[in-house]
Amino acid sequence: MKKFAALLCVALLFLVPGQVNAFATSTDNNMSEVNEEASIENAETSDNNEVYGEDTSSDNNQEAGATAAAIQPMSLIPGANVEVNSIQDLIDTVQQAEMDKVITLGASFPTTLTSAINLTIPHNYNITIDGNGVTLLPLAGQKHFNVTNNGTGLVTIQNMTLQGLTSLDGNGYPVWGNVGGGIQLNGSGKSFVINNMTFNNIAGYGALSNSGGVLYTVNNSTFENNISGTGGGAINAEGTPNTLILNNNSFINNTAAGSGYDGGAIFVKFLMAKFEVNNSYFSGNRAIAPGAVSGGRGGAISSNYAGGASTSLIKDSFFEANHASRPGTGVSIHSDGGAIAVFDLSTGGTFNIDGSTFMNNTADDDGGALLLQGKENAVFNITNSTFFANKAYGAGNDTGRSGGAIQMFANGAALTATTYNYTNNTFAQNEAHDYYSGQNQAGGAIAGSGALARTARAYMTNNILLGNKVYDINGDERTTSKYQNFAGTASTNVNNIGLDNGSTTYVLPDYANVFGEFSPTPSANGSGVKAGNPSSSYYYTVPTLLIIPGNGTTLGLASNKAGAAGVAVDQRDLTRSTAKSDIGAVEIGQITYNSNGGAWSLPALTDYDGTEYYVGTTPVDYYAVGTYGAATTVRDDANLSHATKTFVEWNTQADGGGTGYDPADAISFNDDMVLYAIWADSYTITYEGNTHTAGTAPVDSNAYDLNDPATILGKGDLEKDGHRFIGWNTQADGGGTSYAANASITVTENLTLYAQWAECLHVTYHGNTHTGGTEPIDLTDYIIPTENIATILDCGNLVKDNHAFVSWNTQADGGGTSYNAGDAMTLTGHVTLYAQWRANDVPPIEVTTDNNTDPSLPTTGQQPELFLAIGAGLVILGAIVVVKRKQK
C-alpha cells in the first residue's frame, strides 16, 4: 500500500503543468517579404516589421521558468457550472477540467492582479470563463491573461472589462507608456471566442494578440483608447493567424505607434485562411508610425501579406474619421489607407468589401479610405458600399494618383494585372490633394497605379462617382480636370455615372440631378443594418446616401437606369428591382404622380428625407419615395387642381385607358410607376346677393361632375333693408327657376342663383288725438302674396278724455275704411290705422261695416222716430212762449 501511494504521488507530479507568465509579441518570421516591399512606390522601403521600443518578440518566459518547476496543489472545483474566487482556483479548474465547464469569477475574485493569469488547457473540453461583469487591472508589464489551448475544445472568455494603465493626451488619444494588460492567445489550429468584452486604455502590443495559426472570433466587444508599440492597438494578429472573425464590435481611438507597423485598431499579417469584419464600427483610430519614413498604413485596419488561399471580408460596417497620418510635416510614403490598408495581397487571394460606409477618413498619402494593393491575380471586390468625404493628401513620393477614396496599386510580376471589381457603389465628395507642386492629382474618388509594368484593372458596373474633387498645392479645386472622379484602367464601364477618366467628350452630370438640390449627407435612410457593439454607446445604423427619384433623363439620373440588378439587395439589405434597378449603393422605389394638365401647388422642399421629392412649388410631377416593393397607399388629390375640370382618379395611362386607382387604394412602390391625374368637366354653383344691403353671398367651392348631387345653400348672413329673403332664382327678377334653401338638386350645368327679396309690409296703429295710453304695436313683417293677412288689434290701453274708442279707420277723420278689433285685413301695402273716438254725451252711433263697404250715417225716411221727437220738442217750446205773453 505504501508503494502504491508513493507511485500515485509521483504520477500527480507529472500531471501538474508549470505556470507560464508570458507577455509576448510575435516576431517577423518572414524577412523575405521586406525586399519585395522595398520596391513599391519608389521610396516605400521600410518593412512593416520593425519592433517598437524594447520588444524583442521572444517568448518572454523568464517568469515561467521559476514557476514551471513549482508543484502546485490542485484546487479543481468540479461541476459543469462553477464559481471561483481566486486566481489559483481558476488556473486549476481550467487546467484540470473533467468536463465542459462554465467558470464564473465570483464576488471575491481579485480585481487588481499581481501577476498575469496564465491558463493552459491540455484537454479537449470546452471551457468558458465568465467574468460576470468584473473589471480587472493588470500588473504593470503583464497581460491580464495568457491563454494556451493545447486541446481540441473551444475556449471562451466573456463578460468582463480589461482596464489598462495608460493615460490620454489632450486630444483624447492614448499615450504610449505604462505598458500592461490584454489577452494573448496561443495554440496553432486552436479555437477561441471573445464575447462581450471591453478593452480600455491598454498599452502593449495589441490589447488582444495571438501566436501563429490561431482561430478566434470576437463578438459584441468594445476596444477603446488602446495603443500598440507595434501594430494593431486593439488587435495584433501579426502572428500568422489562421482565422479571425469579428462580429458587432466597436473600435474607438486605438493607435498603432510602432515605426514600420500598421493598423491603428487591427493589424493582420500573413493571414492563412479567413479574416472577417461584420457589423462593426471604427472611429478615431490612427496609424501614426513616428519617423520621417515609416509605416502607418491603415488608420483602422491593415492586412499585410495575406496568403493566396486567404479570403477577407468587410461586411456591413461603418468607418468614420480614421487616420493614416504622418508625423510632423515630413514625407510619408506609407501613410496610406485612412480606414483600411491591404498591403500585398498574395496571388490568388481575395479581399471583399460589401455593404459598408467610409466617411471622413484621411490618409496623408494615398487612399483616403482604402489602399488596395495586390499581386498578380489577386482580386478585390467592392460592392454596395458608400464612400463620402474621404481625403488623400499625397504626401508620398508618387505621381498624383493618390485616390481621394481608394488607391488601387498593382504589384507582383511585370506585365501582370490585379483585378478590382466595383459593383453598385456610391462615391461622393471625396478629395485628392497635391502635396507637391505640379503633382496634378487625378482621381478624386478612385485612382489606379502600379509598380513598373503592372496594371490595376477596374471593372466598373452600376457605380455613382459624382462631386469628387482634385486640388492643387494651393488648395484650389481644379474644376477643369478630366479626372475629377476616376483615373486608371477601366476595363469595363457599364451603367456608371461620372466615370470621366480623362475623356474630353464626357460631360459630368449635375450632382443635384442624382442626389437632389440639398447636398445630402449619409444618414440612416430606413436601413436596419447596424454596426458596433449593441451593448455600448458606439452602436449605429450604417449610413447611406440616397438618390432622388425622377424620370431617369432630366431628373433622378441614377433611378431605374441599371437594368437587371447586379446584386439582389442594396446596401441597406433591401430588395432591388430585377428589371430596372438603380445605380449606386441604394435602391429606391418610387411612384410618380403626374398632374396631366392640372397643377400641383406645394410648399417648397427644404430637405430630402427619402419620402417625397419634387422641384419648385408647382411641379408637373410629384414623387412618392419608399422602399422598393414595400406596400403603400395611393395619395389623394390634395394640393392638385385644374382650371376648368375636376379630379376623377389616378390612372396608369394619361388618357385614362389603363388601370385606375382611387386615393387610399393599396399599391406598392415600384421602379418606374407613373400615375396620371384623370380630369372631367366640372360645374359650379354661384350665388349672387341681388341688391342686398349687408352680408356676403354664400360660396360653394365644390366642383361638380355631370349629374352630381348638390344641396342649395341658405342665405348665410345676407340681408336687405326692409325685405325678407324668400329663396333663390336663376334670374335676378325672379322670372326663372326658383330654388329653396337646402333643396337637393342634380347638377347638369353651371348655375348662378340670385337672392329673391320680398318687401316687408307693416300695420301701424295711430292714437289720433288720444290723451293717454300707448298705441298698440304689430311687429309682424307681412309679405305679398303668402303672408299679407293681418288681424286687427284692439285699442289696448289707449284713452281719450270724455271719449270712447269706437274703431280703427284708414283715415284720421274716419273717412276711410273702418276696422274693428279681430277683423282680417288683406295688405297690399303699408297701412296706418287711426283710432276713432266718440264723445261720451253723444248717443252712440251704431257703426256698421259691410265687409269692404265704407260705414255711413242713415238717410232720411230710414228713422221716423227722430223726426217725431223733434216735432214734440217744438210744440212744447211754442206752448212755453204763449204762457209767457199772457202773464204780461
Give residue-wise pLDDT tens across range 744-772. Answer: 999 999 999 999 999 999 999 999 999 99
* Per-residue confidence (pLDDT) for residue 842, from 0 to 100: 63
pLDDT attached to residue 332: 64
pLDDT tens digits, residue range 506-542?
A: 999 999 999 999 989 999 999 999 999 999 999 999 9
Specify the pLDDT at position 552: 82
Q: Measured between alpha carbons, how far is 374 from 418 in angstroms, rounded to an integer?
A: 6
Report the alpha-carbon distance of residue 682 to residue 630 in Å, rounded. 35
Residue 873 is placed in which grid cell? Answer: 220738442
pLDDT of residue 873: 55
Residues of the chain scoring pLDDT < 50: 1-72, 293, 847, 849-869, 875, 879, 881-888
**CA contacts within 13 A on the Cβ side of 673:** 23
Count of other CB atoms within 10 angstroms of residue 504: 6
- Indicate the pTM of the whole model: 0.76
Residues across the chain? 888
Look-up of cell digits 523568464 = 62
Cβ(632)–Cβ(591) below 8 Å: yes
Q: Is 213 left (phi over 0), alpha (psi -120 to 50) or beta?
A: left
At 537, list the grid cell: 454607446
Residue 31, judged by CB atoms within 10 A of its CB (0-12, 13-18, 19+), counts as exposed
Is 667 exposed, middle or buried, given 0-12, 13-18 or 19+ CB atoms closer than 10 A?
middle
The pLDDT value given to residue 51: 31
Place of cell 297690399: 828
Q: What is the pLDDT of residues 120-173, one digit of tens each?
A: 999 999 999 999 999 999 999 999 999 999 999 999 999 999 999 999 999 999
Q: What is the pLDDT of residue 5?
A: 38
- 8 Å CB contact between 564 and 587: no
